[in-house]
């Protein structure tokens, strides 16, 4: 009797959210189509997210016809030891992460994710809006230049916007604006600064639609006139303001750019988004990994459910420069081709692997964790326990704990892989 495969290929779900890139401009679409030659990309359809994992909304389908279970979630339930002993124990025999590729055309909502305590509370009170009780820390690693909003700006920058943009100041209100200006004079009093920042942000977010739409219209018209006359509008982030207002006309989220850092990641650069940190993705393609949850608290730039009060209460209000939002990977021990993106949560780690075409073979290390491997570029043939594999762009591979694979690399292209796993100490 042949031993059951513990390494196998997956067919993964694609989500067609409206904000996704259209047709073949989407990295998601390209990976989806190259993963299966029979798939045809619809040029008018948005291809927003590729989900690689066991989440009920997109449980990956196993391609090996010899395996009895149809989906990865069913297979792990029948083979919990495949997770690795520590992962199995720590996460109740569940795969603890969801691995994704995102292709963003329109801005995603101004949002934050709750910590575990708040997630349990929100799920109990509003299960229709918060579908599980888990936290959702996440990390984005750019595949193409990727722009997003992440964390509160330095106080000095917010104060400069308050003093230079009358429409923004009118929305915040004179009292709250002056409190932040006064606190900025003595940043050593951290709690006072954070309270003043919270007051400013909450005052803005709780304005009536009529108030913020009126001030936004005044600002947009002024910036458009400046653009038409050839003036530089970078001091008010004019280009981004006009883009967001064109995507979400009259939306309060357009003003969030004056509170939050605008971060542009180059390919391979990453940002980590912990609990209660405000953020929004604006454009580009990235690999994303997160705890296996679907809990998001939104407050702007979205047609979905908005929960302004919860968002304003939950945020940390820690301000820092944009450069501080970059998450720096480390070299992986024993592997000169791998970089480790290891966030301060136990749920997931991402390994970026780039093998030059001049290297004939690459050995994928065994880990004490189940992992999911995505091939972004290049081709290889693999040999592991009970498995012979042909891998190419778009291939997604499940690797059980303590399994290794040796890849013969196609010399015509560099090999670019991302591997999601759970490295518990």
Residue pair 60/71 in contact by the 8 Å Cβ criterion: yes
47: which 2 tokens? 């291809």
Catalytic residue among 6, 105, 194, 298: 298
Cα–Cα distances in angstroms (integers) from residue 114 to residues 111, 279, 310, in the given order? 10, 13, 10
Number of H-type helices and E-type strands within the chain: 11, 25
Residue pair 11/34 in contact by the 8 Å Cβ criterion: no
Residue pair 93/401 in contact by the 8 Å Cβ criterion: no
| CA angle (31 as vertex; 356, 385 as ends), nearest 5 | 65
Catalytic residue status for 222 = no
Helix axes 155-164, 190-205, angle to 10 degrees: 40
Query: Is 151 in a helix, a strand, or coil?
Result: strand
Cα–Cα distance between 374 and 393 in angstroms, integer? 8
356: which 2 tokens? 């030059």
Task: Give the list of residues 6+ apart from residue 58 with CB closer than 8 angstroms, or none.
Answer: 12, 13, 15, 51
Helix axes 155-164, 174-184, angle to 10 degrees: 140
Residue pair 16/45 in contact by the 8 Å Cβ criterion: yes
Q: What residues are labeled active site?
A: 298
């Amino acid at each position: 009797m042949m031993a059951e495969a513990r390494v196998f290929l997956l067919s993964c779900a694609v989500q067609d959210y409206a904000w996704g890139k259209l047709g073949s401009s989407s990295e998601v679409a390209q990976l989806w189509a190259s993963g299966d030659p029979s798939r045809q990309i619809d040029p008018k359809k948005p291809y927003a997210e590729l989900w690689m994992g066991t989440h009920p909304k997109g449980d990956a389908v196993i391609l090996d016809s010899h395996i009895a279970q149809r989906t990865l979630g069913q297979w792990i339930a029948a083979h919990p030891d495949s997770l690795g002993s520590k992962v199995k124990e720590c996460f109740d025999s569940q795969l603890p992460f969801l691995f994704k590729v995102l292709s963003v055309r329109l801005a995603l909502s101004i949002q934050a994710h709750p910590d575990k305590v708040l997630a349990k509370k929100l799920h109990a009170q509003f299960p229709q809006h918060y579908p599980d009780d888990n936290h959702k820390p996440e990390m984005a690693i750019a595949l193409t230049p990727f722009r997003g909003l992440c964390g509160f700006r330095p106080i000095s920058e917010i104060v400069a916007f308050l003093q230079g943009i009358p429409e923004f100041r009118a929305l915040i209100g004179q009292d709250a604006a002056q409190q932040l200006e006064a606190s900025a004079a003595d940043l050593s009093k951290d709690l006072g600064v954070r309270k003043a920042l919270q007051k400013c942000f909450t005052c803005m977010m709780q304005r009536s639609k009529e108030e913020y739409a009126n001030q936004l219209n005044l600002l947009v018209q002024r910036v458009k006139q400046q653009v038409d006359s050839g003036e530089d509008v970078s001091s008010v982030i004019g280009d981004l303001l006009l883009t967001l207002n064109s995507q979400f006309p009259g939306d309060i989220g357009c003003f969030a750019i004056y509170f939050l850092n605008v971060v542009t990641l180059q390919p391979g650069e990453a940002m980590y988004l912990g609990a209660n940190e405000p953020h929004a993705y604006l454009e580009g393609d990235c690999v994303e990994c997160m705890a296996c949850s679907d809990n998001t608290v939104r407050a702007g730039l979205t047609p979905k459910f908005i929960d302004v009060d919860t968002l304003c209460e939950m945020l940390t209000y820690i301000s820092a420069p944009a450069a501080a939002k970059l998450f720096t990977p480390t070299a992986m021990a024993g592997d000169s081709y791998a970089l480790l993106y290891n966030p301060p949560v136990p749920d997931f780690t991402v390994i970026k692997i780039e093998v030059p075409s001049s290297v004939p073979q690459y050995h994928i290390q065994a880990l004490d964790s189940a992992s999911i491997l995505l091939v972004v570029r290049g081709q290889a043939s693999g040999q592991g326990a009970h498995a012979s594999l042909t891998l190419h762009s778009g291939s997604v591979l499940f690797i059980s704990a303590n399994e290794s694979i040796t890849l013969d690399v196609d010399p015509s292209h560099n090999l670019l892989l991302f591997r999601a796993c759970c490295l518990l100490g």
